Amino acid sequence: MSDHTSEKALLRRTLLDARKQLSDDELRTASLALADRALALPELAAAGTVAAYISVGREPGTRALVHALYARGVRVLLPVLLADNDLDWAPYAGPEHLVPAGRGLLEPDGERLGPDAVTGADAVLLPGLAVDARGMRLGRGGGSYDRVLARIEASGHAPALVVLLYANEVVARVPEEPHDHPVQAVVTPRGVTRFSA
């Protein structure tokens, strides 16, 4: 295990432990505040298509945000986890069209659009565990979104990349590896931080 890998594992454990300490009330309050902050982003206000995700467990809540985007007429794409940890995409058609999937995830029950569908999004909302002052994102370690970001970069398209976190998850520095990609902004229940390219 490399130094970066072990540093990432330790930071992931610390952040996941902090999420476990949040009460249900804190989670609900954070979810609503996160939706308000994110919906005010110019990148989302002008977007025709947004790639998002349905939060699970103790992740910062995204359901209110996803539904509000959909209600605005935005085409929302949600990930569908494939057997190799890559992501396919399907359009969101309302909460009644979400079905349970592996690993506790909820996925749309509609047409699968293929892994490249994300490259046409105007904005991509990313899950994560932390982001640092340079905009480097720390994910859960499964590599799914590393593939998504590499696919977007290879396409030549440059959507807004926004990570959704709790305020304490904006940290001074996360361990970085060559495959890691920076984001343009982080939204927390307390506000928005932008990063220069």
Query: Tens digit of pLDDT for each residue in 18-28?
Result: 999 999 999 99
Q: How many residues does the chain have?
A: 197
Q: What is the pLDDT of residues 141-161, one digit of tens each?
A: 788 998 999 999 999 889 999
What is the pTM for the complete model shown? 0.92
What is d(CA 118, CA 90) in angstroms, rounded to the nearest whole number? Answer: 10
Kindly report, residue by residue over 32-59, the tens digit of the pLDDT. Answer: 999 999 999 999 999 999 999 999 999 9
pLDDT of amino acid 180:
79
Residues 93, 99: Cα–Cα separation, whole Å: 12
CB–CB of 70/94 below 8 Å?
yes
Query: Is the separation of the CB atoms in 46 and 68 below 8 Å?
Result: no
DSSP 8-state symbol, 179: T
The 10s digit of each residue's pLDDT in 79-113 is 999 999 999 999 999 999 999 988 888 999 999 99
Among 9-13, 128-132, 187-191, the minimum mean pLDDT is found in 9-13
- Residues whose CB is less than 8 angstroms from the CB of residue 195 and which lie 6 or more positions away in sequence, other chains included: 133, 134, 135, 182, 183, 184, 185, 186
Strands 130-132, 137-138: pairing is antiparallel
In this predicted structure, the answer to whether residue 121 has a pLDDT above a threshold of 60 is yes
Which position has the higher pLDDT, 179 or 136? Answer: 136
Residue type for position 83: A
Task: Provide the CATH topology of domain 3-194.
Answer: Rossmann fold (3.40.50)
Q: Please determine, for residue 74, whether its predicted confidence score (pLDDT) is greater than 60.
A: yes
Q: How far apart are the first and last CA of the chain?
A: 30
Judged on CB neighbours under 10 Å (0-12, 13-18, 19+), 3 is exposed
What are the phi and psi torsion angles at 119 (to 5°)? Answer: -70, -15
Per-residue confidence (pLDDT) for residue 197, from 0 to 100: 56
Domain boundaries, the chain: 3-194
pLDDT at 88: 97
Report the C-alpha gap between 4 and 130 in whole angstroms.
15
